[in-house]
Chains A and B, each alone.
Chain A
Amino acid sequence: MDTAITLGVDGEVYRLTVDTRTTLLDALREQLDVTSPKKGCDHGQCGACTVLVGGRRVLACLVLAGTADGAEVTTAAGLADGDSPHPVQRAFLDNDAFQCGYCTPGQVCSAAGVLDELAAGWPSNVTADLTTEPAASRAEIAERMAGNLCRCGAYVNIVAAVEQAVEQATEQATEQAAEQTAGQARR
């Protein structure tokens, strides 16, 4: 049975008809030729299909496309700002955080989600005091990235990359805040 949906994907708007059984992952890859999200397990166990929907990281293999009508989807291919890579992408390059690269688009989207979740002060299972805003330690990053498996075992460099991206994002946020205060003082 078919259903018509509209999807925003990486800045483009698509209208398409999908079988109700189609997952968001298959709609992206097979119907829209958006192939950066990968199919690893197709059962929610590996994280290779991670995309951002409305800015939140989710597994595209467990979303029925028919329930995503009107959604804004960002894949790893749409994270960059024109020609300049997203801080997470830059950090993956700087830290050599992959081997075959199959898990990488999922890792990158997941890490982008982790950055936002840390900025929002979300705790994780390794946060000692749940009432505090957790700091981005290596243990925190490893725990938050646990849903992304890497068969090549590039984990050490992946954690280092996410650490770098978090540091950069924090610095940027501090600079922006400082600029804002300076701007207000000038007024």
Chain B
Amino acid sequence: MRPFTLATATDAREAVRLVAGDPDAAFLAGGTNLVDHLKLGVATPGALVDVTRATSAEITDLEGGGLRVGAAVRNSDLAADRRVRERHPMLVRSLLGGASGQLRNMATVGGNPLQRTRCVYFQDVTTPCNKREPRSGCGARGGYTRYHAVLGASEHCLATHPSDLAVALAALDATVHVLGADGERSLPFTELHRLPGDEPERDTTLAHGELVTAIDLPALPPATRSTYRKVRDRASYAFALVSVAAAVELEDGEGWVREARIALGGVAHVPWRAHRAEAVLRGAEPTEETFLAAAEAELVDARPLDGLDGGNAFKVPLVTRTLVATLRELTQERES
């Protein structure tokens, strides 16, 4: 492992100053992804700046029922928060369906969406990878593609984004607050991640040294029902093959669909906001046919991959079934 200096920033400005001014420096939060990458040789920073004390670890109320979640809030604390449990089941289930109890106690809300892909070739420094080493090639192409993308991939990279929380935040229309060398800015969560294109080394739209300081969760209309459904190779403690975060509001709680917010995980380089599926659902009756049409609309551009392991064509029907099942669960009458 390359030697590095380690500093603890006590406020956000100091953290940004330390990292923005040094191209070799990186923020360290819970460490559950970055420390692993130091060991694997995937990340080779010369300086680490611990930011767990530089941003807020509090969840505060915003006017109108929204919540502001500090970047240093641990995943387990966000999932345990009474307000979040009552207002955002989708978010809580995405957190609790991820990693393990120990990891959730460590992982932060700022670090989780910024974790890097679990593509095995990215993690194995003996294989080529355009994301790890620009223009070295893509080991995944024609290789093991079970966990790779069916939407939005490029010839340079087929990786998927591994975070569960990010899928829920994308569906929820969360807002990200960022501090950089030039000051503060905020952006819609759906603009945080980017498709690989010809620059797969860039996961996000953040500049080097930009620090996520907080994420805002908007209030949803009270009649909205939401959940997160994750399909994986074992019942617990595994990354998603595919996942669906969905929030649906029906007219008078039982009629046509007033509003639908959907995002898909395990299918793309970004948490995939399913605008096309939402458009099919909005204003329609919540029937099985509508749900299928919504899934089909979202997947028209799906491009499954071949691979040594049989490829990932299974993801197209799997997304369809998972989305339909999730929408059914959210729109059927509540058992009383």
Q: How far is the CB of B41 from chain A (nearest CB, A)?
A: 12
A6-14, A74-82, A120-128, A166-174 - the one binding chain B: A120-128
Q: Which residues of A contact B97 (CB under 8 A)?
A: 125
Given A57-B101, A59-B106, A122-B80, does the pair A143, B31 have CB atoms closer than 8 Å? no
Structural contact, A50 and B236, CB atoms closer than 8 A: no
Interface centre among B40, B100, B105, B106 (most CB of A within 10 A): B100
Which of A47, A57, A63, A114 is close to B31, meaning CB atoms less than 8 Å apart? Answer: A63
Chain B 89-123, CB-CB to A under 8 Å as 1, else 0, gives 10011001101111101100000000000000000
Using a Cβ–Cβ cut-off of 8 Å, how many residues does chain A contribute to the interface with B? 41
Q: Which residue of A lies closest to B74 (CB)?
A: A56
Cβ contact of B236, chosen from A110, A113, A125, A127, cutoff 8 A: A125
Least CB separation from A124: chain B residue: B96
Apart from A21-B38, A62-B103, A148-B100, list 7 A-B contacts with CB within 8 A: A1-B3, A43-B39, A43-B40, A59-B106, A122-B80, A143-B236, A146-B100
What's the nearest-Cβ distance from chain B to residue A70, in Å? 11
**Interface residue range, chain B:** 35 or more
Q: Which residue of B lies closest to A113 (CB)?
A: B101
Among candidates B5, B36, B92, B236, residue contacting A20 with C-beta atoms closer than 8 Å: B5
Task: Determine if B48 and A20 form an interchain contact, defined as CB atoms under 8 angstroms apart.
Answer: yes
- Please list 15 pairs of residues, one from A and one from B, whose beta carbons are closer than 8 Å in the complex, sorted by A's number: A21-B1, A21-B3, A50-B102, A57-B101, A57-B105, A58-B105, A62-B31, A62-B32, A64-B48, A110-B102, A123-B85, A124-B96, A127-B96, A146-B100, A148-B100
Contacts of A123 in B (CB 8 A): 79-80, 85, 92, 96
Q: Tell yes or no: A40 within 8 A of B by CB.
A: no
A172 CB to closest chain B CB (Å) equals 22
**Once the chains are docked, how many angstroms separate the CA of A145 from the CA of B100?**
8
Interface string of A24-46 (1 = CB under 8 A from B): 00000000000000000011100
Using A43-B36, A147-B100, A147-B102 as known contacts, say yes or no to A20 and B31 having CB atoms under 8 A apart: no
A-B contact count (CB 8 A): 108
B8 contacts the other chain (CB 8 A): yes
A16 to B19, CA, bound (A): 27
CB-CB nearest in chain A for B31: A62
- Asked if A47 and B100 make an inter-chain contact with CB atoms under 8 angstroms apart, the answer reads yes
Bound: A114/B105 CA distance, A: 12
Specify which chain A residues have a CB less than 8 angstroms from the CB of B48 in the assembled complex.
20, 64
Which chain B residues border A62 with CB–CB below 8 Å?
30-32, 35-36, 103, 106
- List residues of chain B with CB within 8 A of the CB of A142: 236
Complex CA gap A123/B106 in Å reads 17
Cβ–Cβ contact B6 & A131, under 8 A: no
* Contact between chains at A1 and B35 (CB < 8 Å): no
How far apart are the CA atoms of A183 and B52 in the complex, in Å?
Answer: 43
- A21 to B235 alpha-carbon distance, docked (Å): 34
Beta-carbon contacts under 8 Å, B6-29 to A: 6, 8, 28
Q: Are B8 and A67 in contact (CB under 8 A)?
A: yes
* Per-position 1/0 for B59-100, Cβ under 8 A of A: 000000000000000001001100001100100110011011
